[in-house]
Structure 1
Amino acid sequence: MEWTLKEDRVAVIALHRCGYAPIQIFNILKNLNITKRFVYRTIKRYNEDSSVDDRSRSGRPRSVRTPAVIKAVKARIQRNPKRKQKLLALQMGLSRTTVKRVLNEDLGLRAYRRKTGHRLNARLMDLRLKRCRALLKRYAGKKYREILFSDEKIFTVEESYNKQNDKVYAHSSEEASNRIPRVQRGHFPSSLMVWLGVSYWGLTEVHFCEKGVKTNAVVYQNTVLTNLVEPVSHTMFNNRHWVFQQDSAPAHRAKSTQDWLAAREIDFIRHEDWPSSSPDLNPLDYKIWQHLEEKACSKPHPNLESLKTSLIKAAADIDMDLVRAAIDDWPRRLKACIQNHGGHFE
């Protein structure tokens, strides 16, 4: 139970009824941070009213935030929960402050940012459900820490920008614009495709896909698999058992790629076992890429070479505690996907 002002009064009156003088009560209860005036006033009010409850207060009755207004706001929000406070205030002839207090204090509502997600139909949801169950069973316990997760992402030379969280403290918008330069965007900025592998035990080297060269099965095998994936058996995993994960891109699910991995006795998650359309189940997608982009693209780059240098440095400096936390979150995400019957869960 929370200790409130009423409990202070009860303690004072209890001692008063036992015959203690006000000054004695104060000395006994001073650890409650009460004053002598509080003791005397509490005893006086008790003698007058025989009660320790708050007295009723006479105040001006509400004239704007009335039950009828609260009911009307509630009805409008139920019909369309995407309403903007400013527009709602204009439509109802209320101040924005009144609308905000009705929503927050009277209705207990808060505004939350809408979430985006990959498109899922009934077939994909059913596949995700079945494959998540199989993966959760296959990598029960700590076996998921044996997986080398991989993915590709396109980076541009432009500055990373989050509309929701990138704020500038200033006295006015003009001052903010003068203190911090605008985030500039152009048409078709220079970009590159990056491949990376992460596990509980470390990261592979950052691989930059060659510009203008289509990453088909042969190119994928000769560059990524040969130079980056195959060596981790002896380096990252120190000859221990490990598992390679890749998504269902054409070069990854090609029969020649699957045969290439099998011929080298590399255990891997086959494309028919990995949930497609599931960036929310790959640690790179739901955590690592965002971190690397924030670090490497905190400012615009003059060219691709500058971007490459920053990405290599960001990957080299990444905190392994962050990587391990993301990978340890993987089983929970599988369970969440199962609980939502293969649908979105975040």
Structure 2
Amino acid sequence: MKSKDLQSVVLSKYEKGEGPTKIFRDLNGTLCLHTIKRWCKMIGQSGSIQLLKPPDYPRIVRTKGASEKVTHCLQRKKPISTRKLAGDLGISQASVQLMLREDLGLKTYKKVVEPMLTDEHKGKRNTFANWVRTNFRKEETMNIFFSDEKMFDIDGVYSSQNDRVWAVDRVDADTKGGIKPKRKFPQKVMVWLGVCSKGVTPLVIFDNDSVDHARYTQEVLPVALEYGNKVLGSQ
């Protein structure tokens, strides 16, 4: 319960004729009896609870100059850690983090990995997009069929950044599943899947990871053709 809410409760109870001890018991220790008595005294004298605000001391660490230095460091393309910033400014790492979040309103973001595109790649993509816009109407684009293959192994997917275990020490973490066993040569399987505006196709699972054009023609194309005729109609 916030301080303003507690003040309202104490004020309401006091106006109903309840004494400090009764209010203290009703709040079940949320406020100490001394504070309740002090608030009741304020209400009796002025009719309200008026708390003094703490004095505003000038900042000596998170100053405007320090914020400008941090902003200048962040504008460089070379990444820098909060620990390095703290060392350069001669302040604590916690102060740097508060400066970044509260003073500058910044948040941390992970780098996004994406394919490196050359100007030639971008030009080809623009040409293809313009070709689609010129040769296909909107309703025709709903019949476009996409497919892809993905290799999976029996060890599963593991993210060292997000898969965490909360524990008191390393031994406790290990007993709670903190060890991820990984085979040197795990068994793998390739899976094919198609998707369109109407849904997804049945999975095509290959027995081994060796897939050539012959297997693709014999095992994948019949599934894609049957599903396409079923949901999109015979083209």
Same fold? TM cut 0.5: yes
Q: Structure 1: which 5+ residue stretches go unaligned? A: 6-22, 24-35, 46-54, 242-346
TM-score, structure 2 length as denominator? 0.68
Matches within 5 A, 1:70-219: 70-80=67-77, 82-136=79-133, 138-172=135-169, 174-211=171-208, 213-216=210-213, 218-219=214-215
RMSD between aligned alpha carbons?
3.1
Residues 168 and 176 in structure 1, CA contact (< 8 A), matched pair in contact too: yes
Q: Which has the higher helix share?
A: 1
The structure-2 alpha-carbon separation of the partners of 1:133 and 1:208, relative to structure 1 and needing over 3 Å to count, comes to: same
- Residues 243-281 of structure 1, C-alpha deviation per residue, up to 9 Å, x if partnerless? xxxxxxxxxxxxxxxxxxxxxxxxxxxxxxxxxxxxxxx
- Residues 21-56 of structure 1, C-alpha deviation per residue, up to 9 Å, x if partnerless? xx9xxxxxxxxxxxx95x9459xx9xxxxxxxxx99
Residues 193 and 204 in structure 2, CA contact (< 8 A), matched pair in contact too: yes
Q: Displacement of 1:114 after TM fit?
A: 0.3
The structure-2 alpha-carbon separation of the partners of 1:142 and 1:178, relative to structure 1 and needing over 3 Å to count, comes to: farther
Residues 89 and 99 in structure 1, CA contact (< 8 A), matched pair in contact too: yes
1:146 match: secondary structure = coil
The structure-2 alpha-carbon separation of the partners of 1:138 and 1:166, relative to structure 1 and needing over 3 Å to count, comes to: farther
Residues 155 and 182 in structure 2, CA contact (< 8 A), matched pair in contact too: yes
Aligned to 1:222, which of 195, 218, 221? 218
CA distance in structure 2 between the partners assigned to 1:59 and 1:230 by the alignment: 74
Identity level (%): 25
The structure-2 alpha-carbon separation of the partners of 1:173 and 1:236, relative to structure 1 and needing over 3 Å to count, comes to: farther
Amino acid at match of 1:228: V
Runs of 4+ in 1 over 6 A off after TM superposition: none
Matches within 5 A, 1:262-277: none
Q: Structure 2: which 5+ residue stretches go unaligned? A: 5-14, 16-41
Residues 209 and 215 in structure 1, CA contact (< 8 A), matched pair in contact too: no
Matches within 5 A, 1:242-257: none
CA distance in structure 2 between the partners assigned to 1:152 and 1:203 by the alignment: 13
TM-score, structure 1 length as denominator? 0.48
Amino acid at match of 2:180: V
- The count of residues paired between Structure 1 and Structure 2 equals 193
Matches within 5 A, 1:31-50: 40-41=47-48
Compare CA radii of gyration and give the structure with the larger one.
Answer: 2
Residues 157 and 189 in structure 1, CA contact (< 8 A), matched pair in contact too: yes
Structure having greater relative contact order (Cα 8 Å, sep ≥ 6):
1
The structure-2 alpha-carbon separation of the partners of 1:184 and 1:94, relative to structure 1 and needing over 3 Å to count, comes to: farther
- Residues 121-167 of structure 1, C-alpha deviation per residue, up to 9 Å, x if partnerless? 11001111221233345555344332221111111111212234323
